[in-house]
A and B are shown apart, each in its own frame.
Chain A
């Protein structure tokens, strides 16, 4: 469990809502710099895993180890500071704010100047602000959303909002990116764009990712390993080729033959 390559280790995670058991003894590891796919049928508990990692849910049992800390004991609002950001399945942006403002808001936790210098635009405040703007503009350029910089997010197309949402996770400089169905509801072209962005982020910045996704083609193409969850338990883990042939996985997806 203390392997140096392991970035994040999930150790026998059990989560229940009353009598409903959402996750039961799920364990897997995320290695540094890899894209790990998490797949499974609807309601299998994929999103629950992400919610446990980023502290939305507190599991009944089990630990999530990251940088010598147990994340299950860290409050949700402190988790991004540790370098874990996420995107949501249903876009959660400020729809009335512009793209730029949404990204700025996401960086607020990295802003550290006091109230006093904040009142006046000089010194540390000015330097900080410039630095943050530069980071954000880098992300805007990276994601090729320059033309919607000042558009209110609510007026954007679904595909673009998904991209802004990814941008919001990116500006937090994460070491681990949790992606909850980043390609749901997109057309082929948008999916290709998104897949390209994910690969570029992974290669350029070495960001590790946990990708929950329904589109098997995408998952098989861009992940290096896959974890399969069904009815709250892990039924398989391995490289995409193995997973494709795994009898339990086929059974979970296609039913009993």
Chain B
């Protein structure tokens, strides 16, 4: 069968109920098709399915020779690399369970994951990660081997617990002569209902919980997506979001095998912009935060460009917006407008998309957090077909925008295979093959989450003409005194649309007579703005308190307020002296705000706001990457509207 002719879905999936079975099938059926590309030494290195399967087999055999047994757990910590995928598939081939860990996790977090999951094998990308694990090894004797795949800096380590991935593969290769069918047998033993992955929920509250995801969860999620969009085996996908996140498990690890796509790995996270331009991917998946950054960059670059370019961009945007509006209203676009749109696209948007490497994109998804409708509109205006994908670690995928039915303020329509119920409290319940199998070692939480056969998402939402509208986390909806409810997130995402604002967190509700906000500035963009106006500043905290900058923020607050009903208008704000940071537990690793810790931490700012004071002295703790703790004291101004 010629692979270019096949469409996803047409490729028979019968009997292929685990990822390793799929992988073996791909290696048999499309041995010479390119499976992966990794940029190394400035050159894109290609791996065919046969080669990938070879690596996976050797790694798995190597693991067996080290005493890996069915049901053993392994942790992978690293960037997106082919090696991550090989190691994960190898562990899964042996009936093991993988937990992915974000590279920027501090040692205590890694230790928690290691101990909670009971992992005995660790795959760590490089020296930085190996050092973390070795430090943990001193206390945790359960770790049998640490395997790394980037040898830089590790040349002179002589700890017997560490081993290079190449060496592991050699071990496997030696073994394979004696045990040719060992891996095949192991793969055959696998079952779709075997747990494949522990996905630690980012946990905006409390300790992270390990959601148990089985092979069928992963496969049905990618099946759902394939039903909505027709991926072709020639499509390029950029693996950029961390595989520690469920989304990359769906799209990269399961999707790469299922379709099968060509999975491209950037040289390193810093080079992703140029790498994307090289590849021109058809499928792209960014977290909401990344789209926001991209939108900021576009807006700032436009402001910075010459007057002629600015004028052309604005004119083209106007034309494109008119077209979009007409299409939304279901009216036909006149021939003149159609022609001008074509010209605008050719002259302005095409080069812009090319700059971003997004010219070939068929499907662009955003997920992970809500994104403001303005942001969606901006991308659609410049011709990027961005869609919301709503789901969660536990629920799998819930709803998505369809091509001809995109409404910016919704999270799309439910997947056919997902049954959704809205509870009396307005909570979204869902039931599908994608719903997880429970929390590891936490039956109470599992029982609570899966009451009555539905997964309780904890998200508030409702249906509007078939579209699901996501409001906020149920626990974060705030009842105001006069019986009005408001969603902080609804306001926050509108703040974040401004290129000058990095983060915003909004407070209100009981004991808080009005709504207030803590804003953090986008240092890069605001400093550029300040330089253009010849405003001198020294540091982030200095810039954030400049009168002009506060004026700029005030303008943005007023602007956002104009969209809000009277009862939820923001009446006071503080420009914070620092950015929120995941290392200080203010954000999750996927950059979602952690409301409670932030509220606790900045209690004195909030009380000063509600005491209507004009400024406040603040001393705050700063935790550095190496664990040191420092103190910063500053004076913050409070602005009232």
- Which of A25-33, A35-43, A142-150, A168-176 binds B? A142-150
What per-residue 1/0 map shows which CB atoms of B258-275 lie under 8 Å from chain A? 000000000110110010
* Chain A nearest Cβ from B295, distance in angstroms: 22
* Cα–Cα, bound, A134→B155 (Å): 20
B156 interfacial by beta-carbon distance below 8 Å: yes
What per-residue 1/0 map shows which CB atoms of A126-155 lie under 8 Å from chain B? 000000001001101110101101100000
Within 8 A of B (CB), among A200-214: 200, 203-204
B627 interfacial by beta-carbon distance below 8 Å: no
Q: Which residue of B lies closest to A137 (CB)?
A: B41
Q: Which of B42, B153, B155, B156 contacts A146 (CB 8 A)?
A: B42
Q: Is B270 in contact with A137, judged by CB distance below 8 angstroms?
A: no
Q: Which residues of B contact A140 (CB under 8 A)?
A: 41-42
Q: Is A147 in contact with B156, judged by CB distance below 8 angstroms?
A: no
What per-residue 1/0 map shows which CB atoms of A217-244 lie under 8 Å from chain B? 0000000000000000000000000000
A73 interfacial by beta-carbon distance below 8 Å: no
Q: Which residue of B lies closest to A149 (CB)?
A: B42
B-side interface residues, number (CB < 8 Å): 13
With A142-B152, A203-B155 already in contact, the answer to whether A147 and B271 are too (CB < 8 A) is: yes
Q: Is A146 in contact with B152, judged by CB distance below 8 angstroms?
A: no
Q: Is A150 in contact with B155, judged by CB distance below 8 angstroms?
A: no
Q: Which residues of B contact A149 (CB under 8 A)?
A: 42
* Cα–Cα, bound, A203→B155 (Å): 9
Q: Which residue of A lies closest to B274 (CB)?
A: A150
What per-residue 1/0 map shows which CB atoms of B237-280 lie under 8 Å from chain A? 00000000000000000000000000000011011001000000
A60 interfacial by beta-carbon distance below 8 Å: no
Per DSSP, chain B at the interface is loop
* Chain B nearest Cβ from A44, distance in angstroms: 34
Q: Is B268 in contact with A200, judged by CB distance below 8 angstroms?
A: no
Q: Which residue of A lies closest to B271 (CB)?
A: A147
With A146-B271, A147-B270, A147-B271 already in contact, the answer to whether A137 and B155 are too (CB < 8 A) is: no
What per-residue 1/0 map shows which CB atoms of B149-170 lie under 8 Å from chain A? 0001101100000000000000
Q: Which residues of B contact A141 (CB under 8 A)?
A: 40-41, 152
* Chain A nearest Cβ from B129, distance in angstroms: 15
Per DSSP, chain A at the interface is helix
Q: Which residues of B contact A134 (CB under 8 A)?
A: 41
* Chain A nearest Cβ from B509, distance in angstroms: 42
Q: Is A137 in contact with B42, judged by CB distance below 8 angstroms?
A: yes
Q: Which residues of B contact A147 (CB under 8 A)?
A: 267-268, 270-271, 274
Q: Is A204 in contact with B155, judged by CB distance below 8 angstroms?
A: yes
Q: Is B41 in contact with A200, judged by CB distance below 8 angstroms?
A: no
Q: Which residue of B lies closest to A148 (CB)?
A: B270
Q: Is A203 in contact with B156, judged by CB distance below 8 angstroms?
A: yes
A81 interfacial by beta-carbon distance below 8 Å: no
Q: Which residues of B contact A150 (CB under 8 A)?
A: 274
* Chain B nearest Cβ from A240, distance in angstroms: 21
A246 interfacial by beta-carbon distance below 8 Å: no
Q: Is A196 in contact with B153, judged by CB distance below 8 angstroms?
A: yes
* Chain A nearest Cβ from B478, distance in angstroms: 41
Chain A residues touching B, range: 10 to 19
Q: Is B153 in contact with A200, judged by CB distance below 8 angstroms?
A: yes
With A147-B268, A204-B155 already in contact, the answer to whether A138 and B274 are too (CB < 8 A) is: no
* Cα–Cα, bound, A150→B273 (Å): 12
Q: Which residues of A contact B274 (CB under 8 A)?
A: 147, 150
Q: Is B152 in contact with A138, judged by CB distance below 8 angstroms?
A: no
What per-residue 1/0 map shows which CB atoms of B292-315 lie under 8 Å from chain A? 000000000000000000000000
* Chain A nearest Cβ from B641, distance in angstroms: 39
* Cα–Cα, bound, A144→B268 (Å): 9
* Cα–Cα, bound, A149→B40 (Å): 12
Q: Which residue of A lies closest to B272 (CB)?
A: A147
Q: Which residues of B contact A144 (CB under 8 A)?
A: 268
* Chain A nearest Cβ from B153, distance in angstroms: 7
Q: Which residues of B contact A137 (CB under 8 A)?
A: 41-43
Q: Which residues of B contact A146 (CB under 8 A)?
A: 42, 267-268, 270-271
Q: Which residue of A lies closest to B40 (CB)?
A: A141
* Cα–Cα, bound, A1→B617 (Å): 67
* Chain A nearest Cβ from B259, distance in angstroms: 29
* Cα–Cα, bound, A63→B246 (Å): 67
Q: Which residues of A contact B42 (CB under 8 A)?
A: 100, 137, 140, 146, 149
Q: Which residues of B contact A142 (CB under 8 A)?
A: 152
Q: Which residue of B lies closest to A197 (CB)?
A: B153
Q: Which residue of A lies closest to B42 (CB)?
A: A137
* Cα–Cα, bound, A138→B40 (Å): 10
Q: Which residues of A contact B270 (CB under 8 A)?
A: 146-147
* Chain B nearest Cβ from A53, distance in angstroms: 29
* Chain A nearest Cβ from B149, distance in angstroms: 14
* Cα–Cα, bound, A200→B156 (Å): 10
Within 8 A of A (CB), among B20-41: 40-41
Q: Which residue of A lies closest to B127 (CB)?
A: A196
Q: Which residue of A lies closest to B268 (CB)?
A: A146
Q: Which residue of B lies closest to A196 (CB)?
A: B153
Q: Which residue of B lies closest to A146 (CB)?
A: B267
* Chain B nearest Cβ from A119, distance in angstroms: 25
Residue of B41, B43, B270 most packed against chain A (CB within 10 A):
B41
* Chain A nearest Cβ from B75, distance in angstroms: 25
Q: Which residue of A lies closest to B150 (CB)?
A: A141
Q: Which residues of A contact B41 (CB under 8 A)?
A: 134, 137-138, 140-141
Q: Which residues of A contact B153 (CB under 8 A)?
A: 196, 200
What per-residue 1/0 map shows which CB atoms of A175-207 lie under 8 Å from chain B? 000000000000000000000100010011000
* Cα–Cα, bound, A114→B620 (Å): 65
Q: Which residues of B contact A204 (CB under 8 A)?
A: 155
* Cα–Cα, bound, A118→B153 (Å): 38
What per-residue 1/0 map shows which CB atoms of B40-76 lie under 8 Å from chain A? 1111000000000000000000000000000000000
* Cα–Cα, bound, A149→B42 (Å): 8
* Chain B nearest Cβ from A104, distance in angstroms: 12
Residue of A142, A146, A149, A200 most packed against chain B (CB within 10 A):
A146
* Chain A nearest Cβ from B406, distance in angstroms: 34
Q: Which residue of A lies closest to B152 (CB)?
A: A142
Q: Which residue of A lies closest to B269 (CB)?
A: A147
* Chain B nearest Cβ from A35, distance in angstroms: 16
* Cα–Cα, bound, A119→B274 (Å): 30
* Cα–Cα, bound, A196→B40 (Å): 22
Q: Which residues of A contact B152 (CB under 8 A)?
A: 141-142
Q: Which residue of B lies closest to A150 (CB)?
A: B274
* Cα–Cα, bound, A134→B43 (Å): 10
Q: Which residues of A contact B267 (CB under 8 A)?
A: 146-147
* Cα–Cα, bound, A52→B43 (Å): 40
* Cα–Cα, bound, A137→B156 (Å): 22
Q: Which residue of B lies closest to A151 (CB)?
A: B274
Within 8 A of B (CB), among A3-43: none
* Cα–Cα, bound, A100→B274 (Å): 15
Q: Which residues of B contact A200 (CB under 8 A)?
A: 153, 155
* Cα–Cα, bound, A146→B43 (Å): 11
* Chain B nearest Cβ from A233, distance in angstroms: 38
* Chain B nearest Cβ from A64, distance in angstroms: 32
* Cα–Cα, bound, A142→B43 (Å): 16
Q: Which residues of B contact A196 (CB under 8 A)?
A: 153
* Chain B nearest Cβ from A192, distance in angstroms: 10
With A100-B42, A140-B42, A146-B270 already in contact, 12 other A-B pairs whose C-beta atoms are closer than 8 Å: A134-B41, A138-B41, A141-B40, A141-B41, A141-B152, A142-B152, A146-B42, A147-B268, A147-B274, A203-B155, A203-B156, A204-B155
A-B contact pairs, 10 of them (CB 8 A): A100-B42, A138-B41, A140-B42, A141-B40, A141-B152, A144-B268, A146-B270, A147-B274, A203-B156, A204-B155
Q: Which residues of B contact A (CB under 8 A)?
A: 40-43, 152-153, 155-156, 267-268, 270-271, 274
Q: Which residues of A contact B (CB under 8 A)?
A: 100, 134, 137-138, 140-142, 144, 146-147, 149-150, 196, 200, 203-204
Interchain residue pairs A-B with the least CB separation, the first 8:
A137-B41, A147-B270, A147-B271, A146-B267, A137-B42, A146-B271, A146-B268, A149-B42
